[in-house]
Chain A
């Protein structure tokens, strides 16, 4: 058992033990309250540059299957847990989490008083920390603090967004078909799996332009399995290029960091919105739409990261459980009333969870309708996007 410490920028030290990679790392320390879904979380690009503290104390229980990954690689910088479960001779052949992290060079630290750490972040806000080998009395603290001070949040979107356009054909979800029925289908028995869409129909219903700021795979699968052919564009693609492909709809994905850092995309998004093409945005995509309409965003003290956040749809009064992962939020007062309205709010803290434009087929949500990890209760939002595209194309036909 190799001893290691988590050192925070305020000088607090949490002793624990290493697992995963032995690499030293400096990153922002956040916490997530979700119970399940550590593989999905580790591969979520929105966590790029962050060490995630798992509030649930026992992690790694069911091992790792990579086919639930939300990206082609791990994005989390480090994993902080109370107690790590080792999986041996798993009945289904799952890989041990420790091995998985080692293989992917992601460091972890266990034996941490994760609740104390969570309370600290809650009270003081997210912190920059360093995971380093050794015990509290052997650490070279000046050197560690120097590293922590030199940490700066890069343009994370630039790091995680694809460099090239990518195509995702309709009616395919990217996974091996047998695996889908094995692992996914039961979890996603939404209206769609029983919808009238013909099976094996290779002809796409719609073509969707997808601005990829670090998207989770399951967002794309939610579109493709609804019959959309998806073209994913790098984050800095111009509106002109996107519109020139005459998409039926435009999707703005999630992504890491402060939306303001993606400044150059904001003006382009405004053009996309004004084009009249239906637009749906989630998480960072939602924030970018707000910014492009003149609203402002602000950093939450410790963010929303978990799978149990209640969100109220104002129109219906209904409350939905949502999966969330964001550190910034749209300022409610800054939302330009003439252009759009707040469609969803967070029941716990009243923050903005969704926007809908008044004269445009544009709607966005702050949370993750695709779940993974987390509830599948909000899949219906993808259906709404499909509906918006259906309406739009019907209108065009009548014209």
Chain B
């Protein structure tokens, strides 16, 4: 069937900021969708609030709106752009929910907009629990006994009927937010309360728990004519009960026999047929481990994280095919781009094993509850491909960047039997390693199966790895490493480093012996058809076999290192940078080769680069690729810390580093070398020094004068960083940090409570280009990734010049070629440098889009010899006085992570970001805060204030404003008294730990719609406010932990803006305003008053 002609202007709704449960996979799906729609000749309009995405790049769509994902904003864009088609099934649950809202309100039909792909009716039948169950009943598909409830009483009654334990699943939520398993009525009351609250429709499903069954997923695609195929089966290593996003997943399903496999496959196809899916769909099953019984758990009538995984696992581009189907094509008309010969109407055959392992944020949130369940907690994932289960697991494990190369983890090895057993009884993030350790201690597979219900197949494979590890460990105790053992380890994809460390040998010797035995990396192609047809897609993974399919071409090649899994501190922005670098290289005529291991991303789409190596980003794996490809050079500065930490090994291997040298990267990171550079440039940094003991720390802190910033050296993303205000806190901090023996000293720096400023610059070795200067709303002390960032910065001319000058000096001193990111503090009208990162940063995508300067493209070309003078953007500061505001706000996932403190500090906690654009400051701020998911409190509701003593005087004018705006103020004793004395009526409330009625009762009463809480110490481990903040999060009450943020929120409340009144800006048009107004001599807007407050 030809492409439908009744639609010409299509709106694509993106998924918004990265949060737990909704990550980069929707940038991948959305990017494919936009490109496909454009290829098909549609006029494509995109809305997404997330500026770090590739899909929001100018050029991905005809019109790109980086605007808050709010129903009123979407409506206004639909009208403004005369939209007649809507594609809502590629923007995750967010896109789907908006599409449904637009449909159900009648807005779509009133405005002549048709839904493309799966119809609203079909979506509802898949999403609504009741309707879905009816469909399953009609089909005769087994379901797990369950009922929906809207009240706690109903929940209890249902649970009594079907019997405990029961699973609570809230309707229409992301990543199972608010769900859980309840074994008793008390637990049920607790979980269901949260669940009902989390569901936007106030509905939960109470379901019989079927723990111990296998969890299997199928991805299916169906066209409007009824042709349907399954793309991939996936099997969770853990039995049902663990969110699939948090499970280790193996594809294709390994333990099903043909009868079971076909049974589930047929069921999936019957379901997509009955629902009337037109596009992609995910079906989750529970399969009884020994009987043929199965049950349908749920379907997702849209593209999902699993479909991204299935696409990468098979090479079948589900999002692209689903989009073509939405355009009206049938499966047999859509070409299979991988083979170039066959059609999309087939089921991929897979001749390798794929393992996906989730990446958890518990390295950041050390105190968070690590138990896994129905609520997703992982921020990202890695995937690895091998020709055995063992090798896929080994590659995936080292892709996680946990400093672990295999299943042997020393601290787990040192646990007592009792503690290990406790860890194994519950499911936790480190489960794979606990399982391995348990096997290592001689417990039989049968026993572990009884305990964990992990299929014996997987336990056997884990045991196979453990056996090799133990044999290698014996080699370190005097046994000789035999050729046979070495071969076996290598065939399981043990890397040289790991073999060397286990066996106590030098890496170099292992490498030599391996090569002498002829055990070389042989790259195999992912071709969708298990080799049956000749494929043209250069998508490779390493094995140790006989035949290497990745014969290098004779073109000039550049290798780009990707950024690995999405985690806090390293998000999708680095994928944006890697992809843009690849695109620039391709345009320049180089063969662009990328290495990455994140299945959610655009960079691992097979047609992004000329060659994709889906491999771990470790020194060993990258070296092998370099040996195979012998590239002209390697780019390490776009893939975040993951890539930059490989620069030394790549450089040592004799490969040309394109961009800033490994030595200079080291100079920027090494405190002593960096201090020397600052000195030579005559640039100040906050005073500080290094200490080991409590005594030294106290001495240093008193020498510098409190407050001081303390942190362990050699950590990323502000981990373990704290602001310390007095001796007591210092003693406490040091005692906690020294619980673990510190190899490196603790850094103690003077903490300057000033305005934080940030630049990204491009340097060609002679000149610099700064697209714009950004200012952080929150004063220094809140991690730059967690603060609201405002472009342009409002600073005196003199300061602006100093920043340009410092940026130039530092770039030249560090011999930067390409990108550099510098953070400054403006304190008492003096500029201090706090950090220099000679690499891309998280602000690059946003500042690129806002200024219209293709920063990564320019940087890439400069690395290959171009000069800034070759581009039309000049040198120095580009956007000096633009008549715009671009406000970037952080987005958090606190409601997904129990026991994580929501208070902001030097340690980064946000998972994503949004952007607010306007020519008016207040509108830009409002948009950013709105888009971040902050629920502005309605007038006449309560605001609960409890701040530290040093903030009390600053709170007065803000509380006064709140009072005058009509909010009812509540405060804990000290804060309330202080405000009352200042004439601001504030009701005093007892603290949460005091007797009832107290703050908890107040929160439960529903009268509070905002909490403002600042802490005396943001990071020392005991927090009075911790419970208060958590309770607010669990009640959906927004939290502000910095008065600077409150200032911005108040600004929004005062103007009383509404989402429906907002001006929307197409991103290229916005960048044009920046470009046109950039060199005005005087800023159009006055300095926002609150910034003046910051300046004091």
Contact = CB atoms under 8 A, between A and B. Distances in A.
Interface stretch (A147-155, A162-170, A241-249, A316-324): A316-324
B718 interface: no
A115 B545 contact: yes
Interface string A180-222: 0011111101000010000000000000000000000000000
Contact of B266 (A40, A57, A189): A189
Given A187-B266, A348-B341, A372-B258, A118 B351 contact: yes
Nearest to A317: B225
B739 interface: no
Contact of A312 (B140, B233, B332, B545): B332
Contacts of A318: 225-227
Contacts of A56: 252, 349-351, 530
A62 B455 CA distance: 10
Contacts of A33: 349, 351, 529-532
Q: Chain B interface mostly helix, strand, loop or mixed? A: loop
Interface centre among B257, B269, B524 (most CB of A within 10 A): B257
Contact of B257 (A65, A82, A182, A189): A65
Nearest to B270: A189
Nearest to A348: B342
A36 interface: yes
Contacts of B546: 14, 113, 116
Contacts of B290: 91-92
Contacts of A35: 233, 252, 261, 349-350
Interface centre among A65, A114, A187, A307 (most CB of B within 10 A): A187
Nearest to A321: B347
A255 interface: no
Interface string B342-365: 110111111111000000000000
Contacts of B388: 57-58, 82-83
A169 to B, nearest CB: 23
B269 A118 contact: no
Interface in B784-800: none
Interface centre among B254, B258, B529, B533 (most CB of A within 10 A): B258
B353 A376 contact: no
B351 A114 contact: yes
A320 to B, nearest CB: 8
B460 interface: yes
B591 to A, nearest CB: 23
B457 interface: yes
Contacts of A86: 460
A14 B547 CA distance: 11
Contact of B140 (A31, A118, A189, A319): A189
A347 B344 CA distance: 10
A373 interface: yes
B256 interface: yes
A371 interface: yes
A256 interface: no
Nearest to A1: B484
A307 B266 CA distance: 13
B255 A182 contact: no
B466 to A, nearest CB: 16
B446 interface: yes
Interface residues of B, number: 62
A119 interface: yes
A61 B389 CA distance: 11
B343 A187 contact: no
Nearest to A181: B292
B1022 interface: no
A55 B529 CA distance: 10
Contact of A375 (B260, B265, B446, B522): B265
B291 interface: yes
Contact of B254 (A61, A113, A119): A61
Interface in A58-80: 58, 61-62, 65, 68
B348 to A, nearest CB: 7
Interface in B478-529: 522, 524, 529
B534 interface: yes
Contacts of B533: 122, 348
Nearest to B548: A116
B262 interface: yes
Contact of A89 (B259, B342, B352, B456): B456
Interface centre among B259, B269, B345, B347 (most CB of A within 10 A): B259
Interface in A1-60: 14, 31, 33-37, 39-40, 55-58
A88 B352 CA distance: 23
B465 to A, nearest CB: 13
A318 B229 CA distance: 12
A336 interface: no
A227 interface: no
Interface centre among A36, A183, A321, A377 (most CB of B within 10 A): A36
A309 B262 CA distance: 15
A90 interface: yes
A129 interface: no
A213 to B, nearest CB: 23
A57 B351 contact: yes
B347 A308 contact: yes
B1036 interface: no
Interface string A94-130: 0000000000000000000111101100110000000
B387 interface: yes
B505 to A, nearest CB: 24
B538 to A, nearest CB: 15
B974 interface: no
Given A35-B252, A182-B291, A187-B262, A348 B343 contact: yes
B259 A122 contact: no
B225 A183 contact: no
Contacts of B460: 85-86, 88
Contact of A377 (B225, B259, B260, B266): B266
B229 A321 contact: yes
Contacts of B351: 33, 55-57, 114-115, 118
Nearest to B1: A317
A359 to B, nearest CB: 30
B55 interface: no
B343 A36 contact: no
A189 B350 CA distance: 26
A134 interface: no
Given A122-B531, A182-B291, A321-B229, A36 B261 contact: yes
B263 interface: yes
B257 A36 contact: yes
Interface in B258-305: 258-263, 265-266, 269, 289-294
B331 interface: yes
Contacts of B532: 31, 33, 55, 118, 122, 306
A347 B446 CA distance: 46
A374 interface: yes
A386 to B, nearest CB: 20
Contacts of B332: 310, 312, 319, 347
Contact of A371 (B262, B294, B353): B262
B457 A85 contact: yes
A85 B261 CA distance: 18
A115 to B, nearest CB: 5
Contacts of A82: 387-388
Contacts of A375: 262, 265-266
Given A62-B257, A115-B530, 12 more contacts: A14-B546, A35-B252, A40-B258, A58-B389, A62-B256, A115-B524, A118-B531, A186-B293, A187-B266, A307-B349, A318-B226, A373-B258
What are the 4 A-B residue pairs with the smallest beta carbon separation, nearest first? Answer: A37-B258, A116-B547, A33-B349, A55-B530
8 contacts: A33-B532, A56-B252, A56-B349, A116-B547, A119-B549, A186-B293, A308-B346, A318-B227
Interface of A: 14, 31, 33-37, 39-40, 55-58, 61-62, 65, 68, 82-83, 85-92, 113-116, 118-119, 122-123, 182-187, 189, 194, 306-310, 312, 317-319, 321, 347-349, 371-377
